[in-house]
Amino acid sequence: MVSIESEFIFLVVGGPMASQIKLSVVLPIAQVTVTGTFTYWADRVDWIIFGEHGRVAVRFPQFDISVIYLRQIWRGVNAPALPFSFAGYDATHLRLVGFGLGEIMYFAVVAVVWWLVGRYLDRRRGGITPERQGARSILFAILGLVWGMLLLAFAIFSIQDFVRLTSLFFLLHSRGYFLLTQLLFLVWSLILMAVNGPTLMRRIRRKFVNGGTPA
């Protein structure tokens, strides 16, 4: 007899309900919600970091500071959204539901990034090769590979500049959130290169070996 635990695992991991969940819908909604929450909260308390005076005292400053750090770490989670991830709140320009225009653009790019990730995973889960046909596939592979290389360079130079201005000990001891953010950029860069590099090589090889359009 199949145990209740086994049935539950089947439903969550590989059952009909799991197969009906569209990650291309769930991931963008979840990421935009989390990103928006951290951004909205941190926008209103980041004056704590800059030591501004004349503001209303907050009840839980350490918790608010943690949210500020989480906002930065989440920029690493949304690394492909660079450079939109560094958009800041500007009260003097157009605002929408409490966010600046630059932040709204950032959320839109985050939604696109995680829609692409969810679509890729959905097609993998369904046994569909997530590669497009023809020249468009090559173009997307080139863009993904180049973007991965740019993210890699950004992370390396950011860490190098930080260490040059301070020290490696200070980075490891007092700026762990910054280091984690850059490591997330590195992870994303490796993912983009690992996914798009082999795809590009296969299609170029097929094009020249077969003497026709890539299959």
Q: What is the pLDDT of residue 93?
A: 61
d(CA 203, CA 198): 9
Structure tokens at 154: 């950004």
What residue ranges in the chain does DSSP mark as E strands? 95-96, 99-100
For residue 10, what pLDDT is reported?
39
The pair of three-digit structure tokens given for residue 43, joined into one six-digit string? 């926008």
Token pair 């920029």 is found at 75
User: What is the maximum span of the chain, computed from C-alpha positions, in angstroms?
Assistant: 71
- How many Å apart are CA 161 and CA 155, to the nearest integer? 10
Would you state the pLDDT for residue 183? 95
**pLDDT of amino acid 215:** 43
Helix/strand/coil percent split, the chain, to 5: 75, 0, 20
| pLDDT per residue rounded down to tens, the chain (215 residues) | 444 444 433 334 444 555 578 999 999 999 999 999 999 998 888 877 765 544 555 666 778 889 999 999 999 999 999 989 887 655 556 667 778 888 999 999 999 999 999 998 998 887 665 455 556 678 888 999 999 999 999 999 999 998 888 888 888 888 899 999 999 999 999 999 999 888 788 877 776 666 554 44
pLDDT for residue 14: 47
Q: What is the pLDDT of residue 178?
A: 92
DSSP states of 163-201 as a string? Answer: HHHS-HHHHHHH-HHHHHHHHHHHHHHHHHHHHHHHHHH
pLDDT of residue 107: 95
Residue-level pLDDT at 185 = 96
